Amino acid sequence: MRTIISAGGAALMVVVFAIALVGAQQPKPIVRPASPVKAELAAAQPVPWMLLAPTPPMGWNSWNQFACNVSEQLIRETADAMVSSGMKDAGYQYVVIDDCWQVSRDANGVIVPDAERFKSGMKALADYVHSKGLKFGLYSDAGARTCQGRPGSSGYEEVDARTYAAWGVDYLKYDWCSTDGVEPKIAYPTMRDALKASGRPIVFSMCEWGRSQPWTWARGVGHLWRTTGDIGPTWQSFTRLLDQQVDLWKYAGPGGWNDPDMLEVGVKVGDRGLTLPENRAHFSLWCIIAAPLMAGNDIRQMAPEIRDILTNREVIAIDQDPLGAQGRRVRQDNLGRGATVEVWAKKLKDGGQAVVLLNRGNADAPMAVSWQELGLRYDAEPMVRDLWAKKDIGRVKGTFTATVPAHDVVMIRVMP
């Protein structure tokens, strides 16, 4: 490293000298050749902590569909399906094993994976996931035990971080069970420091369920922080969590994201599961609020309609927009009997906006959004594109109107 830096320093001096020389003669444009030193320097540097999540992380996590039923076979098949289904090409990167992969600690305090379910060991599994061009993630807990009673990381942060790094872990979800008497503001930075010290860039996903309002303090500690309790595969659960995000928009941005929990798109647990329009609504809203997109369904055998939702690139582009603004609820209208329709909008880097019209009622609803509500001139006439129908609507003057089916959305992109 030292040699590279001094080589970089030498290169800089040569450039400065060259500029001085050129300046002394006549003002010619300076054409600098691509610097091999700079390229080498960039390759040698680990990705800086704050640059690990410039947009909300995307991937898959085992918990929502499989709970404790995890194994290396499931993870290998899921990695294969990430590629063959087009999820990887659509931007999904991390394959994360949630709770229940770990069983004990050895005499040196090193965490021991379930040898029955992970026969080849975690290093081999991480290598396999990496061989598919994907990244590998694990789960632990800030307390003595995980939420499923497995060994937690309390008191073992450094040895765990070193172990993860040696295995090739790229992402750690860090839960909050068995933490009586522990302070999130101490426990999470402790693990963050251990991960940093491991020398491997590891995305840090904080999961203390919003208890200590992490959005107010966790930027620079985690790359994403859960804002709520656990999601379930129901409309009630999704909308309840959505309501809890309304005031949090100001805390999200490149490097640190509000996490309203993982996706339930296509998840079936017993007789619980979202309908197709509900899946579309859930995905659209998670994208408009710049949520991390961690799929939770069995992607090895998902229906084409579910795959089409999870891989709609124009909708994903709204979530991943480089401006990193979290969308806001612009308006909520009461339809009576507790049903509402809502307008959500997210500012985009190109100066445009994405808009979701959400119908939370049980019957079709005519809806409208005026450009003025979005901060545009009342007589603006922007181009509008329907992101689910995947077609241009053309120029629309003043107000956009649509009929939105029950428990569904219309999602548009309004061009600058």
Residue 392 is among the residues annotated as catalytic for this protein: no
| Per-residue contact string for residues 172-211; x = within reach of ligand GLA by CB under 6 A | ---x-------------------------------x----
Nearer to ligand GLA, 257 or 371 (CB): 257
Burial 72-95 (b: 16+ CB within 10 A, else e): bebbbebbebbeebebbebbbbbb
Q: By C-beta, is 294 or 306 nearer to ligand GLA?
A: 294
Is 261 annotated as catalytic? no
Query: Considering 230, 243, 308, 386, which one is annotated as catalytic?
Result: 230
Using the contact rule CB under 6 A, the part of the chain among 70-78, 143-151, 280-288, 322-330 near ligand GLA is 143-151
Kindly tell me the sign of the dihedral angle through the C-alpha atoms of 207, 212, 218, 221: negative
C-beta atoms surrounding 333 within 10 Å: 12
Residue with smaller CB distance to ligand GLA, 229 or 398: 229
Q: How far is the CB of 243 from ligand GLA (least distance, A)?
A: 18
Q: Tokens 């922080």 label which residue? A: 225
Q: For ligand GLA, which stretch binds (CB under 6 A), given 130-138, 142-150, 312-320, 341-349?
A: 142-150
- Cβ distance to ligand GLA smaller for residue 100 or 411: 100
In whole angstroms, how close is the CB of 218 to ligand GLA at the nearest point? 16
Tokens (6 digits) for 398: 């003043």
Provide the β-strand partners of residue 105.
Answer: 111
Please list every residue from 4 through 63 that binds ligand GLA, using CB under 6 A. Answer: 63
N residues, the chain = 416
**Closest C-alpha among 324, 199, 173, 208 to residue 256:** 324
Closest residue by beta carbon to ligand GLA: 147
Cβ–Cβ contacts within 10 Å for residue 17, how many? 10
Q: Tell me the closest approach of the beta carbon of residue 238 to ligand GLA, in angstroms.
A: 15
- Distance of alpha carbon 226 from alpha carbon 298, whole angstroms: 22
- Interior angle at CA 173, CA 210 and CA 83, nearest 5: 125
Stretch near ligand GLA under the rule CB under 6 A, chosen from 145-153, 181-189, 212-220, 242-250: 145-153
Selecting among 99, 175, 261, 298, the annotated active-site residue is 175
Q: How far apart are CA 283 and CA 287, in angstroms?
A: 6
Taking the C-alpha atoms of 66, 71, 77 and 80 in order, what is their torsion angle to the nearest 10 degrees?
100
Task: Pick the piece of the chain touching ligand GLA (CB under 6 A) from 141-149, 310-318, 374-382, 391-399.
Answer: 141-149
Residues that bind ligand GLA (CB under 6 A): 63, 98-99, 146-148, 175, 207, 230
